[in-house]
Amino acid sequence: MFPTGHHVTSPNSSDKPGALRTLSLRRPLDLLFLFCCLILTADVLGPEIFGHGKTKDYALWYWAGQQVLHGGALYPSEMDHPFEFIYPPLPAILLAIPSWFGKIPLYIVLSILNGVAWWYTSILSNAMTGSDREPGPWLEALPVVVTVSFAFDMFDLGQPNLVLLVMMLYGFWSLQHRRSWLAGFMFALAAAIKVFPIAVLPYLVWRRQWAAVVSMLAFIGILLYLVPAPIRGFERNAAELNTWYRGMVGSSSEKGFGQRDEQNWSWVNQSVIAVTHRLVRPINYNLDDPGKPARTMNVIDVDYKTANWIVLAVSALLGLGFIAVIPRQARRTARSDAEELGILFCLMTIASPLARQYYFMWLFLPLTVLIHRAAFDLRPNVRLGTVLALGAAGILMLLSLPPFPNAIQAWGNNLIATAILAVSLAWHIRHPPVAASSDAAAGLKPQPS
């Protein structure tokens, strides 16, 4: 099991490091956070109430919920037709409940979910850093500030990645507190909504978290096959799952994959798969906008099959590097676990076949861990180096803002920023503070046998 060590606290120990807390109307920064959520919710509701309707994915979510309510099809009958709804049937079932009340109630529910997820992403991340000190209000709020553009995308687009992130964080929080079956359920729920969190499964197997593995696999089956069955019918749900799998997971070619061909190879996608293909094949990274001139960035020219082998080799190297860096079971600590999970979240982010700008909200935990190291590490040079690494990653991520050319994203500025964070966390794992220090010892308690 994960070491519990110093960060396991009683329900009444909210003043101790690692404890969770609720939003307080007496804290100015909490009120500011609540105000930001209200502003972002207004951005969602305003166009629907006063304009021509909210665009982005909100209309799609309402459509999916209405399809379930009226027994309509979620996917086209012919595989050569594009999918409007590219998720498994379960999310449509969940969307049907608020959709029954109308668009505005649905949008309010989705905004509330994003706000709650944003809050607990911050609380859980700060509680899981393995630090031996409680962060002050400004330090606690700093990761929220530096990722605010990603959070804006979550509200504005209506994407579920922030909700998925808090599910994964709560899953690991549960795992650390010896609630493996609950952890497996949270991982399964995230994967049943949007597939890419399934990448956590090999990690659980490697760390021999067998109860969590069994729970995750069992709940994936329940959530995908049994939960929708009373509403859609068992045979119909199974057929829709098969259609979704063939159209989303089982389809891949030089043109693209997963029903979004124009996005897969374009600058908007900064996954390992997409950036590697753009570097080794002459792909037009302006595919998402036919009005723009074709632009390529490849440094070599290989065929599609060879490019896939290169992607596989790069992925294998990343996986083997991760295994080489993380400590053996007997040498794990609360501190090293935080850094290990930070690297894992980096890898899960870039391992997703489609990693658009908002996917990098998943860097919240790695950023939080490194911010704590920059603030609390006992070694001045290490604190300075961590600050410089955070600064470099931050500058790279700022290059995604609209004033800068899309070519920067085509070359993978967020991907490189993620690599900097992962390498920094790996360095911290391999170079912990001297255990003899009384302050460091509090964050380096040995793994219980």
The predicted structure's pLDDT at residue 11: 35
Tens digit of pLDDT for each residue in 269-306? 999 999 999 999 999 999 888 888 889 999 999 999 99
Lowest average pLDDT, out of 157-161, 167-171, 342-346, 385-389, goes to 157-161
C-alpha 273/C-alpha 307 separation (Å) is 9
Average pLDDT value for residue range 48-52: 87
C-alpha 246/C-alpha 218 separation (Å) is 22
Residue 134 has pLDDT above 90, yes or no: no
The predicted structure's pLDDT at residue 51: 84
Average pLDDT value for residue range 58-63: 93
Residue 373 has pLDDT above 80, yes or no: yes
The model carries a pTM of 0.89
The predicted structure's pLDDT at residue 14: 44
What rounded mean pLDDT belongs to the chain? 88
Residue 317 CB neighbour total at 10 angstroms: 10
Confidence of residue 260 (pLDDT cuts 50, 70, 90): low
